[in-house]
Structure 1
Amino acid sequence: MVLEHYISELLYRYNCVVIPGFGAFLTQSRSAIIHKDTHTLYPPAKTVSFNQQLISNDGLLVSYAAEAQKTTFEAMLKQVEEEVVDWKLRLQKGERLQLADIGEVWSGTEGKIQFQPSGKTNYLTASYGMSSFVAAPVAREVLKEEVAALEEKTPIAFTPEKREAVAARPYLKYAAVVLLALTTGFTGFQFYKAEQNNQQVVREEAHKQVSKRIQEATFFDTEPLELPTITLKTTKKASTDKAGRKTHHIIAGAFRYRTNADKKIEQLKELGFHPSYIGTNPFGLHMVAYDSFIDAQQALQALHKIKRTQKDAWLKSVR
């Protein structure tokens, strides 16, 4: 049995893994560090250490290995004890135990177990995929010193201006001024045109957002309000009378959640209406009516009256 394999896997998840009768491997998180001499940046990691005093069986290692090998806890505990006995005999002979991905273990003076972590495996899962790299030092001060030394060796010499040469070709100066003015004007016009286009796009996007919010506010309540739970004993009105004529509903709104529909009914009752829940539409929205009528003429009269204060009301007839 390769016991160190299970120890290594557990070190990713736990800060202490005890080998019964032998000791415990401990991990401690450390921050990222930079080596000043080599300019190497090391990511955050977990450092591994060993404590010979922690030998009591906490069941973690044995349970994990037993589950991995599909065996019982007692059988795996026996295997671990046999492995520990073999480790101790090898240490007494002066051998060094090479535990893969963990480190090296040997017996020091007075029988104390010494441990040297390998450092090849980073057990900090938050640093998965990160590796050390060398960052080139910033050379700003070095370049500054080199430039200063160069100026001392080869100073720059300034010669008097030959005004006669400039006077001989004054048209070059005026041509440069005209070219600069044309370039500036063209750049300013392009900037102004781009700015106008950007403002037009922003206005169109704002108009779309406002229209979308108005539609949602009128017909949909996208999020249920955090209200106390209300239990209502209601009965759904029949959609037709005994003669089979149409039942006409003045719709107050359609809601995605039934809780919002019930809240709307309570609000309409407080306003003096006779609201009712009339089921869901083909889109699965819960519909609430201000009032319902058998007679179409009465329904139209009520609709005109309601629309004086409730602009979103509309009439729905059901057979």
Structure 2
Amino acid sequence: MTLATYINDLLYRYDCVIVPDFGGFVTNKIGAKVNNFTHTFSAPTKQITFNNLLKHNDGLLANYIASAENISFEKASTAISLSVIKWQNELQSKAVEIENLGVLSLNEEKQIVFEPNTTVNYLTESFGLTTVESSAITRYKQQVKPLAPVLVKEEKKKIPAFIKYAATAAILLTLGFSAINGYQQKQQKEVLANQEKALQKKIQSATFVISNPLPTINLNVAKEKEVSKPYHIIAGAFQYAENAEKKVKQLKAKGFDAKIIGVNKWGLTQVSFNSYASRNEATNNLYKIQDTVSKDAWLLIKK
């Protein structure tokens, strides 16, 4: 069994994969980049780092190996421990290369140093996108010469006398019509003003009485804030939904807040013992359930 293969698979779906008693591989999303020197465009990616303080077994890696290899959770945990012992022994004398992840080595203070492999992109959103190279663009600046002004000679034309007389007559007629229209508009304004005054008097003298007013209704709306619970302790995954519902009833009879949390990518309906908002609380209850109810229980993180 190659442990690196299962770590690679999980990094495509999770932001952190912990190898018990060794450390955790953590991914951070980085946006697209442009290199002005090489004229290349790089797609968004996940940068991998290693944290040797993340040694607590959250059950993710062991449960995935048990499901993939069709073995028990205990055998999967034993296989992980053997791989960790092998890595630790090799680190004492040389660097350890983990397939597609990077290279691990010890510094002078005997601390693990991780050099990630940047050729593999674990961001599924960027699947199929590769680095694109574009040729440099050369810009030329050219001064624009102003256009020379164009001189236009205007010729004075004489206006015939009969056109002048006709224009004068048209002006006089326009002034006459304007005076008549102004007088008519003044009369219309006076009539409208009188009508408006009469209407205001009627409105002021009117009294509105509502004999049966409607009662006042006070509505109290309570807003409940949903608490996100992304940490689920998985009790099992079932091919048929009827079996999943039976499992929920059995667990509720035992006092668990069991429920169906959805269908995984293999088409199996997942049932949880409980769901939690805190990772620490979920991990503590996972250990209790593994010790008392089911050794195959494991922790699922949904964000």
| TM-score normalised by structure 1 residue count | 0.44
Q: Which has the higher contact order (CA 8 A, sep 6+)?
A: 2
Bigger fraction of residues in helix: 1
| TM-score normalised by structure 2 residue count | 0.46
